[in-house]
Structure 1
Amino acid sequence: MTEGLVTFALIKLADIIQEQERLLTGVKAEAEYIRDELEFMLVFLRAADAMEEKDDGLKVLVQKVRDVAFDMEDTLDHFRLRLTHDHGDKFCSSVQTISNSIITLKARHQIASKIQALKSRVINISEAHRRYLIRNSIMEPSSSSTHTPRVARPGNMVEEANIVGIEKPKKHLIGWLVRGRSEREVISVVGMGGLGKNTLVRKVYHDADVKKHFQFRVWITLSPSFKEEDLLKDIIQQLFRVLQKTVPQGVDNMDRDKLKTVINEFLQQKRYLIVLDDVWHTDAWDAFEPVFPNNSRGSHILLTTRKTEVALTACIEFPDKVYNLDPLSPEESWTLFCKKVFQNNNCPPHLKNVAERILGRCEGLPLAIVAMSGVLATRDRSKIDEWEMVYRSLGAGLEDNNRMRNALTILSLSYYDLPYYLKSCLLYFSMFPEGIPIQRMRLIRLWIAEGFVKGREGMTSEEVAEDFLNELIKRSLVQVVEATSYGQVKTCRIHDLLREILITKAKEQDFVAIAKEQNMIWSEKVRRVSIHNDMPSMRRIHVASRLRSLLVFWGKDYFPGPPKFISPSRSRLLTVLDMEGTPLKEFPNEVVSLIFLKYLSLRNTKVNSVPSSISKLQNLESLDLKHAQVTELPVDILKLQKLRHLLVYRYETHESDDQIRNKHGFKAPAQIGNLLSVQKLCFLEADQGQKLMSELGRLIHLRRLGILKFRKEDGRDLCSSIDMLTNLRALSVTSITESEVIDLEYLSSPPQFLQRLYLTGRLERLPDWILSLDSLVKLVLKWSRLREDPLLFLQNLPNLVHLEFTQVYSGEALHFSNEGFEKLKVLGLNKLERLESITVQKGALPSLQKLVVQGCKLLQKVPSGIKHLAKLKTLDFFDMPYDFVKRLRPDGTAQRAGRTFLQKSVVQFIKIVQILPFDAPNDFIRRLHPDGDGEDYHEVRNVPEIYCTYQKNGNWEIYYNYARPDILLKRQPDWKP
């Protein structure tokens, strides 16, 4: 992490040397000296991070480097602050004038003095640094790899899980091994550290059936710092050991190529199993894969890894042989926990509640469960307060326990392996309260504002940040909570135990202070503060003068307001202010004095206006007012030339139908095209004059554009603008009324990278340019009321994954033809009021996983040919009569969710069970079961999940798949009537 801090300081130093060369007269050489020394230290820091915990001298040295980097950043920022005082954005254009001013002379003297002092400190650190390197040989050539220095693996604690929950995956893997094809196959077991990958594969490796099937078995572990020659020699020793022969002479003196040849020739005519355990990098796989011959004898390579990228690379020819190891189920976790703590499955009743809470923190991670069990096994079981104390101190103090230290060491390996820029990104997760899903774009914008992410050639900062997040996911450090139908992450989180590790490291490095207690005091060096809503009081909060970022998570009604923790005199360097979800009622005036602010979020607050003084925030890049009450922006917003993300909109649910969400945007200034850097603009109201649509063509960096209250006469101007928006990825246009036509026929050059298109309004016909959208993954059409079948027009879009129709087609039949919609996974058909039949030809919709049918009142039967949809997992309908539903069961009663809903409206029903309702005609469902009419049973009998909702005497009831009673309540386990 210190490496990242130094890198960021170097970037800032290089910028200020280049931009303010004139003002650095007399100290430029010193600044460059500091830059050169810090660059040299970077090489050292790459090796130091993973070792400093075990070396006090190294820890002190790293801390000194960290301190000087902090101070350098502060010096540069205060210099910039002093120069911009009373000059604002005129600074860059008036350097000569400012340099002659008294203020500038004082600033120059001040920075000269501080840089001289910093140089002296850097010289001292550099001398100590070189002495350390010589004494410890840290920088020897053999240690210069970018891989993390090896951290000794503690005892295999997961082995202590005694195969709880292991039988099912074990049988699965053994089946793959002994019933495979004749060609050599590769199997990958992937999952985060501590899940028990090693234990599982060892059980498979030593299984009797596996031993019988493979005469030659080899196990090698590829740690992050493995030596290839040593492992090759180990393989040879294991192979000859099977034959009870000595290793041929000369092996110890062979180079790697000769060693590989010996192994390859030995295995040519043999059926073998090679286990490559703990593969951290694709380079390791690339080095060993060619060693093992494809001899058409049913041989296998079985590897374990924490990284999805490694697993997929190894199994590129066998994508179905990637086994994702899941955490233990709650039942398995409890069994393991009780076995380790109580030596049986019985927990004393008085400890059950606290034990369940402690176990919940382990989240099914065997390593964490075993480690926690070791802590609790030493506690007095008669004293519940001791167990409660363990629960309260989960994040502090357990490191002193040997078992927990081992668990943290294993999990820390994943952190140590990260490059510096990913360490900063991962540490940032420690700022969020545990258990809350984190929005992908929120995280990305925060990372960018913090300076963790820089654009690369041909890529925006947002795209680079997305790559960073995906890399953390592939490394099994970040868990995806929710994803879109087309595979994009929506929300994510980290495992609680990993979070505690990150909090500890963040605290050690003054990365962040978590404010959860009254009158908390933290180091003046701390850069970030995260205020959590379980703080009892905010009256006397301490704010560090070096603060760069402030995140507030506050769910209580009472809110002390930003003055309590934003002080213009002490928060002048603030770059990030996130108050999402706080009950803030007014725009905080103190904010406009924070001239370095890059990120401001007032999302989900009660703020209803933005002052014209916001123009002072010349560095602002993200302004998030989503779900606030703002409906208009001042013209002064146009002065924010660095603004990249502008979100001003909210949803309101229609009173008579919970599915209809009225969207409210904002009235934009007439010259909105002046925001030349903006990438996301949602949602501006088009009924402010025709020139507004023409202005959009100037925003050439736009990636996402949302327009409301669109009128037909705006069509030509909007099309002209869209022709200029070559970077557009998402476009949403909603007409001013349901009957208003969205006229986009004039578009001649649609954005070639457009991925998502939402058109809400009348369409006289589907625009021809839609057919050219090869990158389109999601299309949502609403109120179109087309007379021609839209399927024939859309079926050949090559990458379409998600398609929704609402009041789109006025015809009587829909026909999905052979090989149409090859990649479509989600299809929604809503309120096609004249639709009587749906036909699915064999070969159509080969990838469809979910089909939603809603409000199609005249539809008489399930889609004909639905039985051909081999990948269909979910089929949803709505509003089925009880008289017909009861015929679905042999006993004449409907299989329901176990409740009757007394509410008499769809709105109330949805608010309770929180599922999307699906509307279909009354005599629809009886055809689905052989004990009813059964006419359509053969069409849907292979669909795993079928959901139907119906009314009985005005009460709503839910029917779940009659063939699968085990999935009852699967969709809403926590609902309450």
Structure 2
Amino acid sequence: MAIDEYFIVIDDVWEVRTWEAIELALVGNNGSKVITTTQMLMLPKHLVRLSRADQKFLDNHPDDISEKILKKCAGIPLAIITMASLLAGKPECEWSMVYNSIGFHTTDNRETEDTMTILSFSYYDLPPHLRTCLLYLSTYPEDYFIEKDSLIWKWIAEGFIDGKQGTRLFELGERYFNDLINRSLIQPVESKWNGRVDSCRVHDMVLDLMRKLSSIENFIAILGDNVEGAPAPSSVRRLANQNRIAEHVNSETMVTRMPKVRSYTAFKCFIDSQDQFLRFKLLRVLDIVYCSFEKGCHLEHLGDLLHLRYLRIRFNASSLELPIQLGNLKLLQTLDVQGTLPASIVHLTELLRLCAHEKVPDGIGKLVSLEELIILNGCSDKPKRFFKELASLRELRVLQFATYDGADESMHGDFVESLSNLQKIQHIGVYGSAWHTDTAMWEAAGFVLPRPLHYLGWQAIRLSKLPSCINPTRLPNLAHLELFVITMDEQDLELLALLPALCYLNLTTESTVTASNINSSDRSFFQKLRYFETDAMVQFEQPDEEDTSVSLHIWNGEDAMPFVSRKSNDSRKVVPSGVMPNLEVLVFNLPLRALKGNYSDYCGNIGLEYLASLRELRGWIVCEDMPVVERRMQRPSQPSHVSYAALAALRDACNVHPTFCMLRSY
């Protein structure tokens, strides 16, 4: 290619010889770039730039054995990452022994085989409890996002996690999960904005290896498309059905030929028999994920599965009414169901996790072992009793529910009293219709939030002012905050800004607030915040063009404007960049009527250039109070169209940003 520079994207290269043919046409011009997507493992080493940290780890040990190990990794990211993780926990004097223990190959397909060998060695290097947990991941389909919490609760139900005195089983399971991440055997998937790992994925090669080992060790049998090597039916103890289109085997045949099944999982299958999976009498785990049920399918036999520890039923249909016999499952630890719960569930005293799509029955306070209570639609037909009963659930880590009829003053008092008992709570979410709350009354009743809290979703609770317990000293772990505070001042905003772990903030207030003279050089103002949303208009302003301090204005659109019209910022000598240094997304409202047509002056200079990491601006254009004639849609080329003028001003603001900032408007 006789071109000075080029940039080429090549999609879906499957064979080495294909790449070699392409490579002949690529002249090594300085500055040229080639990006390719592939399932291949045998990419030329000079193309791989994905594992620099792990390769650097090996490069920093420049003896012969490091060079040999890097050579055998052949530039394959998965091999480098896995090998680096394997060696990181071993003294250097053992590296030669590790290298010699791995039987590398000399065949034409040696890169693939060597990578599989490295993975296999890493697997056998695990302690026994981690091997078992890793093998269990072969239950899941390829490219599946595995929910961390559900996986850990299944490990617990299977008996893979041995409890230690003073340590909760779930916390121990989290350690196992994190250990597999640290060894690069599973890939963490972070929640988008709060930085917490809430799921994982398994590399295709790791999954292939786990499936082979599971088959050899008779650990799991997998039924489904593109799956081979299921063991003899009579020896099956764990069964996973991943066939999305075929009907299941007749239940009588399954029971007769597979009497030892202890775990049954179905992903996106069609359940064609009324009691198909309900007659495996030794089941400890029953996981039905987004399956379709034949019309008339009933679940009465659930009550006969007396060994059941884990029950999850999520399906593609309207809710089922779950049978009263559910109360017979005295060993049940996890109940995660999409359906109407019977009153008998309050007798499941071993229950640790309850996730319900519908309201829970009265008596929830009897489930004193509960660590997680999640109710997606409502809470109870008798919410006052529900709030009182929460006080008995002292082991709760996660509490999430919705109310659709609000809450009266006495219910507020019950809720505050119950919260004072939940000293282990880490996640609280209250959604639905609004509660109007007198913060002073709550605090007089003893309201306080526990120190371990990392998630607080309280958009439904309209606080009269910011509670004193929401401060950086009291809540050092708070990473996710959704808050409605009617009256705020500068001190309140500064307290929120100093929360050391805060990554996500959705703030609604009826006040206009300004944080003045923020010292951007110490980077302490919302230092970890990645997502900020508010129902007000936001502007960042540099009062002194020669100073590094910045002011943040949050304007409700009704009070006097806290900022002035600014034609241009070109005269500034210093552009501070330490305010919200990690903010990636900013969402705010744009009150058209209150701006009185000065869109370019106010919207075009909102100070996005101070947000060094900003990637996306979302502007909600509010025009409810505009006269109908002014709101009428016209061609964008017409400058009199107010929405277009505001949008153009926001686009100008994005253009000022030193890096790329995308605009989304609504």
TM (normalized to structure 2)? 0.69
Name the residue aligned to 1:797: 499
Name the residue aligned to 1:320: none
1:872-891 aligned within 5 A: 872=582, 874-876=584-586
1:99-118 aligned within 5 A: none
Once residues 215 and 153 of structure 2 are traced to their aligned partners in structure 1, the CA distance between those partners, rounded to angstroms, is: 23
Q: Is the 8 A contact 1:875 1:945 kept in 2?
A: yes
Once residues 727 and 529 of structure 1 are traced to their aligned partners in structure 2, the CA distance between those partners, rounded to angstroms, is: 36
Name the residue aligned to 2:453: 754
Please state if 1:280 is matched with 2:125.
Answer: no
Name the residue aligned to 1:725: 422
Alpha-carbon shift at residue 941 of structure 1 (Å): 8.5
Name the residue aligned to 1:896: none
Q: Is the 8 A contact 2:426 2:455 kept in 1?
A: yes
The residue identity in structure 1 corresponding to 2:47 is: G
Name the residue aligned to 1:831: 535
Look up the SS of the partner of 1:566 in the other structure: coil
The residue identity in structure 1 corresponding to 2:466 is: L
Alpha-carbon shift at residue 816 of structure 1 (Å): 7.5
1:450-474 deviations in whole A, cap 9, x for unaligned? 1111222332111111111111111
1:62-141 aligned within 5 A: none
Equivalent of 2:346 in 617, 633, 638 = 638
Name the residue aligned to 1:765: 465
Which has the larger helix fraction? 1
Change (3 A) 1:159 1:480: closer
1:868-923 deviations in whole A, cap 9, x for unaligned? 33834635457889xxxxxxxxxxxxxxxxxxxxxxxxxxxxxxxxxxxxxx9986
Unaligned runs of 5+ in 2: 1-39, 70-82, 622-632, 637-643
Please state if 1:778 is matched with 2:479.
Answer: yes
Look up the SS of the partner of 1:164 in the other structure: helix
| CA RMSD in angstroms, aligned pairs only | 4.8
Change (3 A) 1:646 1:922: farther
Look up the SS of the partner of 1:769 in the other structure: coil
Name the residue aligned to 2:578: 868
The residue identity in structure 2 corresponding to 1:164 is: H
Equivalent of 2:176 in 459, 468, 474 = 468
1:68-105 deviations in whole A, cap 9, x for unaligned? xxxxxxxxxxxxxxxxxxxxxxxxxxxxxxxxxxxxxx
Equivalent of 1:480 in 170, 175, 188 = 188
Change (3 A) 1:614 1:634: same
Change (3 A) 1:852 1:645: farther
Structure whose alpha-carbon radius of gyration is higher: 1
Once residues 387 and 533 of structure 2 are traced to their aligned partners in structure 1, the CA distance between those partners, rounded to angstroms, is: 32
Once residues 949 and 691 of structure 1 are traced to their aligned partners in structure 2, the CA distance between those partners, rounded to angstroms, is: 42
Q: Is the 8 A contact 1:646 1:680 kept in 2?
A: yes
The residue identity in structure 2 corresponding to 1:601 is: R
Name the residue aligned to 1:410: 118
1:510-565 deviations in whole A, cap 9, x for unaligned? 1111111699883312211111133523243653110011110116xx541452x3
1:264-320 deviations in whole A, cap 9, x for unaligned? xxxxxxxxxxxxx8573555348799xxxxxxxxxxxxx9x99xxxxxxxxxxxxxx
Once residues 409 and 921 of structure 1 are traced to their aligned partners in structure 2, the CA distance between those partners, rounded to angstroms, is: 69
Once residues 94 and 120 of structure 2 are traced to their aligned partners in structure 1, the CA distance between those partners, rounded to angstroms, is: 26
Alpha-carbon shift at residue 424 of structure 1 (Å): 1.0
Please state if 1:618 is matched with 2:424.
Answer: no
Look up the SS of the partner of 1:580 in the other structure: strand
Alpha-carbon shift at residue 839 of structure 1 (Å): 5.2
Once residues 611 and 433 of structure 2 are traced to their aligned partners in structure 1, the CA distance between those partners, rounded to angstroms, is: 44
Name the residue aligned to 1:589: 300
Alpha-carbon shift at residue 707 of structure 1 (Å): 3.7
Q: Is the 8 A contact 1:578 1:602 kept in 2?
A: yes
1:553-578 deviations in whole A, cap 9, x for unaligned? 116xx541452x3252xx10001111
The residue identity in structure 2 corresponding to 1:778 is: A
Once residues 836 and 941 of structure 1 are traced to their aligned partners in structure 2, the CA distance between those partners, rounded to angstroms, is: 12
1:694-741 deviations in whole A, cap 9, x for unaligned? 221111111111243251321222222222222111122346436566
The residue identity in structure 2 corresponding to 1:715 is: H
1:32-71 deviations in whole A, cap 9, x for unaligned? xxxxxxxxxxxxxxxxxxxxxxxxxxxxxxxxxxxxxxxx
Please state if 1:547 is matched with 2:547.
Answer: no
Once residues 535 and 613 of structure 2 are traced to their aligned partners in structure 1, the CA distance between those partners, rounded to angstroms, is: 23
Change (3 A) 1:441 1:875: closer
Look up the SS of the partner of 2:290 in the other structure: coil
Unaligned runs of 5+ in 1: 1-157, 174-188, 191-196, 206-216, 225-276, 290-302, 307-366, 376-401, 650-664, 846-850, 882-919, 972-977
Change (3 A) 1:506 1:969: farther
Change (3 A) 1:222 1:443: farther
Alpha-carbon shift at residue 483 of structure 1 (Å): 3.0
Q: Is the 8 A contact 1:829 1:853 kept in 2?
A: no
Change (3 A) 1:942 1:749: closer
The residue identity in structure 2 corresponding to 1:825 is: L
Name the residue aligned to 1:700: 394
Equivalent of 1:609 in 321, 346, 351 = 321
Alpha-carbon shift at residue 787 of structure 1 (Å): 4.5
Please state if 1:575 is matched with 2:274.
Answer: no
Which has the larger strand fraction? 2
Alpha-carbon shift at residue 481 of structure 1 (Å): 2.7
Once residues 779 and 616 of structure 1 are traced to their aligned partners in structure 2, the CA distance between those partners, rounded to angstroms, is: 38
Q: Is the 8 A contact 2:148 2:198 kept in 1?
A: yes
Name the residue aligned to 1:673: 365
Identity %: 22
Once residues 181 and 557 of structure 2 are traced to their aligned partners in structure 1, the CA distance between those partners, rounded to angstroms, is: 40
Change (3 A) 1:836 1:724: closer
Aligned residues, how many? Answer: 549
1:913-953 deviations in whole A, cap 9, x for unaligned? xxxxxxx998657878xxxx7x5678359556344569984
Alpha-carbon shift at residue 776 of structure 1 (Å): 3.5
Q: Is the 8 A contact 1:876 1:948 kept in 2?
A: yes
Change (3 A) 1:923 1:413: farther
Look up the SS of the partner of 1:429 in the other structure: helix
Change (3 A) 1:288 1:539: closer
Change (3 A) 1:827 1:482: closer
Q: Is the 8 A contact 2:221 2:239 kept in 1?
A: yes
Once residues 964 and 939 of structure 1 are traced to their aligned partners in structure 2, the CA distance between those partners, rounded to angstroms, is: 5
1:216-269 deviations in whole A, cap 9, x for unaligned? x63334999xxxxxxxxxxxxxxxxxxxxxxxxxxxxxxxxxxxxxxxxxxxxx
Once residues 617 and 499 of structure 1 are traced to their aligned partners in structure 2, the CA distance between those partners, rounded to angstroms, is: 33
Alpha-carbon shift at residue 440 of structure 1 (Å): 0.9
Once residues 560 and 498 of structure 1 are traced to their aligned partners in structure 2, the CA distance between those partners, rounded to angstroms, is: 33
Change (3 A) 1:163 1:685: closer
Alpha-carbon shift at residue 827 of structure 1 (Å): 4.2
Name the residue aligned to 2:382: 688
Alpha-carbon shift at residue 496 of structure 1 (Å): 0.4
1:465-489 deviations in whole A, cap 9, x for unaligned? 1111111111111012333544321
Equivalent of 1:219 in 18, 42, 64 = 64
Once residues 792 and 938 of structure 1 are traced to their aligned partners in structure 2, the CA distance between those partners, rounded to angstroms, is: 20
Look up the SS of the partner of 1:752 in the other structure: coil
Look up the SS of the partner of 2:90 in the other structure: helix
Please state if 1:810 is matched with 2:508.
Answer: no
Change (3 A) 1:530 1:843: farther
Change (3 A) 1:536 1:814: same
Change (3 A) 1:803 1:968: closer
The residue identity in structure 2 corresponding to 1:939 is: E
Name the residue aligned to 2:5: none
TM (normalized to structure 1)? 0.49
Once residues 464 and 279 of structure 1 are traced to their aligned partners in structure 2, the CA distance between those partners, rounded to angstroms, is: 21
